[in-house]
Each structure stands twice: as structure tokens, then as C-alpha cells.
Amino acid sequence: MLNGIMHNVTIKVLTPALLEDYLKFFDEYAFADNPQWFGCYCMYFHFNGSNEEWDARPPLENRDAVSELIRRGKFQGLLAYVDGKPVGWCHAAPRMEMSRLGTIPELRIEDAERVGSIVCFIIAHPFRRRGIARLLLDAACDLLSSLGLSIAEAYPVKEAKTDAENYRGPLTLYLSAGFKPFRELKDTIIVRKTL
């Protein structure tokens, strides 16, 4: 490590060929210290039902649904690897592909077709605070730019008290990467960066 950043990290854009790595990460590492969130598989922002329906949804249903999206190339993000093992995930995709964002009134925006959304960071517990999230964030901005989007947008929680509550990425991470506050909500600050 140099300046807190690990140098043996490889970042890969999620493709159908990486489906097994994605599932392995979520099945074994992602929520080892936060088991109450096991079963999300980062499907939440692609789910169009109510919060009650989401809460009642079995993990296997999310696993199957996200697997199908990945196979069809309809689910985007990045995996971080250390020594060939998946240790981190960042869900970054065109905002229009994350249908749930459009159903939350306070998150509705006028220019959604220009925006790429970054909605989730999960770093396996032993690898946190080593710069992996920053590497993922930089790669996410590159990915969104390569998709023709002109704005990266994220939704950090204002006062997260735990790593689990910081699943959208901490505000300090975004500010250090050049994001600026765009809109302040009750518990969230929407931040943006021009790509």
C-alpha cells in the first residue's frame, strides 16, 4: 500500500462472463458482517414494487433476477479484485436503467437521460479503508462517460453511523473525487460531477 491505496487491485467492468464472480461476492463476502442485508444482490434500484413487496421478496428471487439481467447485459457496474478474488462492488449505470429512482418523488430530475447513477458500494470487510472504493468510483465515472453520459450522480446518506448505512458511498468519498452538492434532502445529499 502507498498512501493508503492498495496497488494489487484490479477493477473489471461487469460482463456476463463475470456472473459467477458477482454471485460469489454476494453469496460469500459482501454481507459477512451485515447479514440482515444478505439477499439484496443490488437489485433494489431495479425493483418496481412497493417497499413492503421488496421486504417480502426472497433472496433467491433477487439472485435469479439479477443473474438474468447480467446475462442479458442489462445490469452494470464494476467488481474489484485482489489476488483474483472479488472483494468490492460498485453499482453504476445509466439512471434510466434504474427504474426505482424515477419512482421516488424527491429523486426525480429533468435531465435523467444525461445522468449516470452510482447507487451502491460494497467492500468486503477485511478490505475496507484501503482505497478500493475510490478506485471503483474513478472507474465508475470512466464507465459512465464511456456510455455517453455527461453527469455522474450519487446519493450519499448525510449522517451514516455504520459501514452498512454508507452503502451508497460516504459523502467524503464523493467530495474528494470532485463531486459537488446538487440537492439536499432530509437524509441524503445528491451530489454530481460533470464527466
Tens-place pLDDT, residues 121-132: 999 988 998 899
pTM of the model: 0.91
| Domains defined for the chain, CATH in brackets | 14-194 (3.40.630.30)
| C-alpha cell at position 172 | 467524503
Q: How far apart are CA 96 and CA 114, in angstroms?
A: 9
What burial class does residue 114 get, using C-beta atoms within 10 Å of its C-beta: 0-12 exposed, 13-18 middle, 19+ buried? middle
| Coil/strand/helix, residue 164 | helix
pLDDT for the residue 6: 58
pLDDT of residue 1: 40
Question: Tell me, what's the pLDDT at 33?
Answer: 76
Question: Rounded distance, CA 80 to CA 43, Å?
Answer: 19
Report the alpha-carbon distance of residue 154 to residue 152 in Å, rounded. Answer: 7
Q: Cell 454471485 identifies what position?
A: 23
- Given a cut of 70, the residues of the chain with pLDDT beneath it are 1-7
Structure confidence at residue 2 (pLDDT): 39
